[in-house]
Structure 1
Amino acid sequence: MPTGAIGVGTRIPSSTAWAGQPAIRGRSESVRMAYLTASIVGVQFTWGVEMSYCTPYLLQLGMAKSLVSLVWIAGPLSGLIMQPVVGILADRSTSPWGRRRPFMVGGAVVVSVLLMILGWAEELVSLFVSNQDLKRKVTITLAVLCIYAIDFAINSVQASGRSLIVDVLPTSKQQLGSAWATRMVAVGSLIGYGAGALDLEAIFGTALGDTQFKQLIVVAAIALLTCTGITCWAVSEKVLVDDGEPRPGNGAVDILAQMVRTTTNLPPRISAICWVQFWAWIGNANGYTGWFPFLFYSTTWVGEIYKRYDVPAGAQQSADALGQIGRLGSLSLIIFSTITFIGSVALPSLVRTPDDEKPEFTPRPPPGLAGVFEVYEKNKPSLLTAWTISHIIFTCTMILAPLANSFRYATTIVAICGIPWAVACWAPFTLMGVEINRLAGAGYRRVSGSDMEMAGGESSKGGAQGTTSSGELSGVYLGILNLFTTIPQFIGTMISWAVFSMLEPGKSPELAKEAHPSEHHPKDGPNAIAVCLFIGALSTGVAAYATNWLRRLE
């Protein structure tokens, strides 16, 4: 297939009718970008609470690590199913509110309700079950089901929010939009981990719940609804008009058929971007994941390192071990998120934009530094180079994970990963946004005025006349990118399960309540999470090679 061709069965017909133009409220570009990406703060805050506290929460309920690792198959499973499905359904939606925002609002409401059920799972089960052993089993089952449902629902919000960026912004703004999205990921993580590191019970008492976990759950639900509401209020979408022409069905068979046709007929550069993402998450031929174990286990790992190496022998066990480990892990992730935020702000200005367009203004450095700036501008690295370097940094850092023997050591390792994570959240979405806009052949115009800036093609119902605005297929293409992120995680989950089964087959001595010491896994052997992090590091070498492969298609 020639470069730039769109996969079979994926192009929206030329007779497609559109109403209106995409618009964002705000008097400055920074305000508009903040509004556009605000929903990502709420999504990431919720992910942060889940990743920081749900693993130790399940361990506290009595689950073995090998079983907890299988629970986190919810993440890749929900992404595998929900993001492509929501992308296709939204691409075809003729809702007068737009194609993305209805899915964002609906998903946010469902997630908030499920968070409440998760936080008060023990109390809800106690209303119906009195037997202690049965109550524990039912509570674990309910918690696991809630985690699965939350992951499915929040993927609807996340997928729609990412597609909205592609839909609204022109090609020249895709890197800026993705950079802002990465900043919001860092801000959401920073706020979430910061809240997790605080002793919320000392601040709020029992107003939001009687444990740290419950209070974070309430805050996460409020944050998700608020941030999603801001984006939906500030952004106006173009509307796909129902012109009476026959359109593809929305049944399961129709959606699956389009996914297969599109995935097997991807344009060359989009295909190459997807494969880089694939290797960044799966690694070598043995199927080990890179970022997956880091994101889900780093908090628990840091807390366990502290418990094993830093707590004096004979020291009294904390009454709220879950809260203590969660706070300790959150401290390291605060530094991680701070570095991610700094990187997301600084790196885009240091990297050449993928479309090589001239900037809208010419920087005027001090006269003494003008020569240095001129040389740097001529030799500014590409986004692909930055992505390659980020893979190498992550590999070198995670290889050291099994050697960690102190809280400070573990925190340093986690913090360094903030730089490659900033690029990982930014590069693939920027490159995909640029390619989707190129395929659409979009034309854009800036609308000056009071408080709205438009980004799009000609308004009215002119799909067949003039140029259409971009993003008709952003949902399905970003859904496919997510497939290449989530499929490797299934294999990674099985690898994690195997590692935990071999190295730490029992219950957590740091967290498991009401467990006899004979049921605990040993603490004097290698830390299983550190081994998973090491295995994950092996993945990114192949990702670096795949990024260079993508460079050949430039």
Structure 2
Amino acid sequence: MRKIEEAMPRAASWAGTPSIKGSTESIRMALLTFSLIGLQFTWGIEMTYCTPYLLQLGLTKSRTSLVWIAGPLSGLIMQPVVGVLADNSKSKWGRRRPFMIGGSMIVGLCLLVLGWTSEIVGIFISEPGMAKSCTIALAVLSIYAVDFAINAVQSSCRSLIVDTLPIAKQQLGSAWASRMIAIGQLIGYAIGTIDLVKTFGNTLGDSQFKQLTLIAAVFFNIAVGITSWAVQERILISSKDQEAKSDVVKMSSKILKTTLHLPDRIRAICWVQFWAWIGWFPFLFYSTTWVGEVYFRYHPETNAPASKDTLGDVGRVGSLSLVVFSIITFVASVLLPFVVQSPDQDRRKFTPRGPPTITPILEIFNNNKPDLLTAWQSSHLIFAGSMCLAPFVRSLQMATIIVSVCGIPWALACWAPFAFMGIEINRLTTPNTMLANGSSYRRLSNSTDDFTSPGSPMLRLHHFDRDLDDSPTSDSSTGETAGIYLGILNLFTTLPQFVGTFISMIVFSILEPGKSPELHEDGSEEAIQRAADGPNAIAVCLFFGALSAVGAAYATARMKATTK
């Protein structure tokens, strides 16, 4: 018997109970995902203003596209590494929160450096040519630092959701995450439409960009702090099979081995994500600049910049269209979970309750709801159809419509893959884990209504050998491997961004090799007219994104076929 026990893998042992502050489920879900508001707010500011900011400094579009390798590179490195480190962390503060808090402080500091690059460089260098080169270099380094730190925070925030919620709540948690992302986008883009310098004066900085980086730095730390305060994590006492002994080599080996031997369902999710993000990359990083170019390039006589802050003008014009995009994203993220069938609904059939007169209608509606895979596949096709029109757009109104429609597929892009991954991760995880005293636990029932409330009577102690007979399909959640699997999903989110960067660099080098005439100080009306007479390079990149979205729809169809 001893030999058999020694041959069996050790279960992880834990201390404490996961809980979230709040008197209702909605409040608890909001607090659990609140950090994503600050995270997406910061991403939105970076994606809205950093491209035109770099163009204004004098970089060409092709070189600017290379700067955005920072996003996929940081995700490629940080999310899997932080995922493994956090999975095995035995900190008394929990596995995820120390990374969230430490990363948010670095993000805030680097945002301030990004906003005041010229002033910082000016302290040390006075020669104009050298100062300009150093300003560009410092700005690029700051963007890299922000991206690396924010990816560490994002990995931990997503894993915290999987850790805390049981299988039956994973879709709800992902839906709330999608809503918070939409709110973060909406706040960021809405603030971007306001002339902050005119509103607040020079108190927070003498330009729109400076004031936004300061606001983002403060708000990011507040949002992460709220979630860290509200969520109580379990403490890891010992890892399964002593996996806590993970040096760099072992960590890399584990990530590679897990990536090469993914379960079929998780592999299918990852490939859908891969094709989808080849399309999302140019949209997220260049759509604001594209809308601003459409506004100033094709009607320069009526759309002249309203102030000397051209960067702020372009950002405000682009942000206005993205405000509508964010509103649609938020509405879709709220309504779609009610009209789309949960991925695990086949496991937990129920009869809708209501007044007898409408119960038959509710039953018909519930039985005919589209499943999440079908909705996800349709979202790829909506995105592809919208991006196919981009090269033909010559008006601000049409550009705004195209960007706004993409709010629906973006809501699903922020929801569907994480809902599926959360369910699959928890199905793979052994439902029986050890407490610090050597006993294991299981939930009293399948009800999850009060799972996340503090002090809920969710545990009962019993002998470990009895737990070995429990079904592996139990609805309990441990999320032991959430960090590494979500890190691998992020690999399939970041690798296509390298592909998108390569495509963008080629397109920009061929179609618009010079500096942006709308933003650079040397731009003239003649240069803007020459750009207007040729194809818009960003629009061409968006068109290539449409082709990849069709590939994502096909991959989703194959994933759907394998589940029948």
State the TM-score, normalizing by the size of structure 1. Answer: 0.91
Q: Does 1:399 align with 2:388?
A: yes
1:512 corresponds to: 520
Secondary structure of 1:552's match? helix
Match of 2:478 among 470, 489, 495: 470
The separation in 1 between residues aligned to 2:526 and 2:188, in whole angstroms, is: 36
Match of 1:488 among 496, 502, 505: 496
1:37 corresponds to: 33
1:6 corresponds to: none
Q: Does 1:237 align with 2:230?
A: no
2:405 corresponds to: 416
The separation in 2 between residues aligned to 1:344 and 1:538, in whole angstroms, is: 25
After superposition, the CA RMSD in angstroms is 2.5
The verdict on how the C-alpha distance between 1:96 and 1:507 changes in structure 2, with shifts beyond 3 A counting, is same
Q: How far did 1:552 drift?
A: 2.7
Q: How far did 1:27 drift?
A: 0.3
Counterpart of 1:484, as a letter, is F
Counterpart of 1:74, as a letter, is A
The separation in 2 between residues aligned to 1:102 and 1:461, in whole angstroms, is: 33
Counterpart of 2:13, as a letter, is A
The separation in 1 between residues aligned to 2:303 and 2:467, in whole angstroms, is: 77
The verdict on how the C-alpha distance between 1:463 and 1:229 changes in structure 2, with shifts beyond 3 A counting, is farther
Q: Does 1:71 align with 2:63?
A: no
Farther off after superposition, 18-27 or 521-530? 521-530
The verdict on how the C-alpha distance between 1:358 and 1:364 changes in structure 2, with shifts beyond 3 A counting, is farther
The separation in 2 between residues aligned to 1:457 and 1:302, in whole angstroms, is: 54
For each residue in 1:3-44, what CA deviation from the matched residue of structure 2 results, as whole angstroms up to 9, or x when unmatched? xxxxxxxxx943421111110110000000000000000100
2:554 corresponds to: 545
Farther off after superposition, 444-453 or 477-486? 444-453
Q: How does 1:127-526 map to 2 (within 5 A)?
A: 127-242=123-238, 246-281=242-277, 289-312=278-301, 315=304, 318-356=307-345, 357-358=347-348, 362-364=352-354, 367=357, 369-442=358-431, 444=443, 446=448, 452=454, 469-514=477-522, 522-526=531-535
Task: Give unmatched runs, 5+ long, in structure 1.
Answer: 1-11, 282-288
Does the CA-based 8 Å contact 2:70-2:147 persist in structure 1? yes
The separation in 2 between residues aligned to 1:332 and 1:463, in whole angstroms, is: 59
1:536 corresponds to: 545
The verdict on how the C-alpha distance between 1:131 and 1:460 changes in structure 2, with shifts beyond 3 A counting, is farther
The separation in 2 between residues aligned to 1:36 and 1:460, in whole angstroms, is: 30
Q: How far did 1:545 drift?
A: 1.3
The verdict on how the C-alpha distance between 1:47 and 1:133 changes in structure 2, with shifts beyond 3 A counting, is same
Counterpart of 1:91, as a letter, is D
The verdict on how the C-alpha distance between 1:30 and 1:208 changes in structure 2, with shifts beyond 3 A counting, is same
The separation in 2 between residues aligned to 1:204 and 1:70, in whole angstroms, is: 35
Secondary structure of 2:520's match? coil
The separation in 1 between residues aligned to 2:465 and 2:413, in whole angstroms, is: 34
Task: Give unmatched runs, 5+ long, in structure 2.
Answer: 1-7, 432-441, 471-475
Q: Does 1:94 align with 2:84?
A: no
Q: How far did 1:459 drift?
A: 7.6
Counterpart of 2:205, as a letter, is G
The separation in 1 between residues aligned to 2:501 and 2:452, in whole angstroms, is: 51
Q: How far did 1:548 drift?
A: 1.5
What percentage of residue pairs aligned between the two structures are identical? 56
Does the CA-based 8 Å contact 1:397-1:417 persist in structure 2? yes
Does the CA-based 8 Å contact 1:343-1:422 persist in structure 2? yes
2:50 corresponds to: 54
Counterpart of 1:528, as a letter, is A
The separation in 2 between residues aligned to 1:484 and 1:393, in whole angstroms, is: 21
Q: How far did 1:542 drift?
A: 1.4
Secondary structure of 1:538's match? helix
The separation in 2 between residues aligned to 1:231 and 1:540, in whole angstroms, is: 34
The verdict on how the C-alpha distance between 1:137 and 1:464 changes in structure 2, with shifts beyond 3 A counting, is farther
State the TM-score, normalizing by the size of structure 2. Answer: 0.90
Secondary structure of 1:241's match? strand
Farther off after superposition, 349-358 or 151-160? 349-358
Q: How far did 1:553 drift?
A: 2.9
Does the CA-based 8 Å contact 2:353-2:359 persist in structure 1? no
Does the CA-based 8 Å contact 2:295-2:303 persist in structure 1? no
Secondary structure of 1:539's match? helix
Q: How far did 1:392 drift?
A: 0.6
The separation in 1 between residues aligned to 2:262 and 2:274, in whole angstroms, is: 15
Secondary structure of 2:500's match? helix
Q: Does 1:527 align with 2:516?
A: no
The verdict on how the C-alpha distance between 1:149 and 1:51 changes in structure 2, with shifts beyond 3 A counting, is same
The separation in 1 between residues aligned to 2:279 and 2:494, in whole angstroms, is: 12
Counterpart of 2:534, as a letter, is G
Aligned residues, how many? 535
Secondary structure of 1:335's match? helix
For each residue in 1:210-234, what CA deviation from the matched residue of structure 2 results, as whole angstroms up to 9, or x when unmatched? 1110111111011110010000000
The verdict on how the C-alpha distance between 1:154 and 1:498 changes in structure 2, with shifts beyond 3 A counting, is same
The separation in 2 between residues aligned to 1:271 and 1:305, in whole angstroms, is: 39
Q: How far did 1:450 drift?
A: 12
The verdict on how the C-alpha distance between 1:453 and 1:51 changes in structure 2, with shifts beyond 3 A counting, is farther
Does the CA-based 8 Å contact 1:122-1:139 persist in structure 2? yes
The verdict on how the C-alpha distance between 1:415 and 1:518 changes in structure 2, with shifts beyond 3 A counting, is closer
Counterpart of 1:117, as a letter, is V
Q: How far did 1:359 drift?
A: 7.4
Secondary structure of 1:385's match? helix
Secondary structure of 2:562's match? coil
For each residue in 1:497-537, what CA deviation from the matched residue of structure 2 results, as whole angstroms up to 9, or x when unmatched? 01001111101111112468898873321110000001100
The verdict on how the C-alpha distance between 1:455 and 1:499 changes in structure 2, with shifts beyond 3 A counting, is farther
The separation in 2 between residues aligned to 1:120 and 1:376, in whole angstroms, is: 55
Q: How far did 1:254 drift?
A: 1.1
The verdict on how the C-alpha distance between 1:272 and 1:129 changes in structure 2, with shifts beyond 3 A counting, is same
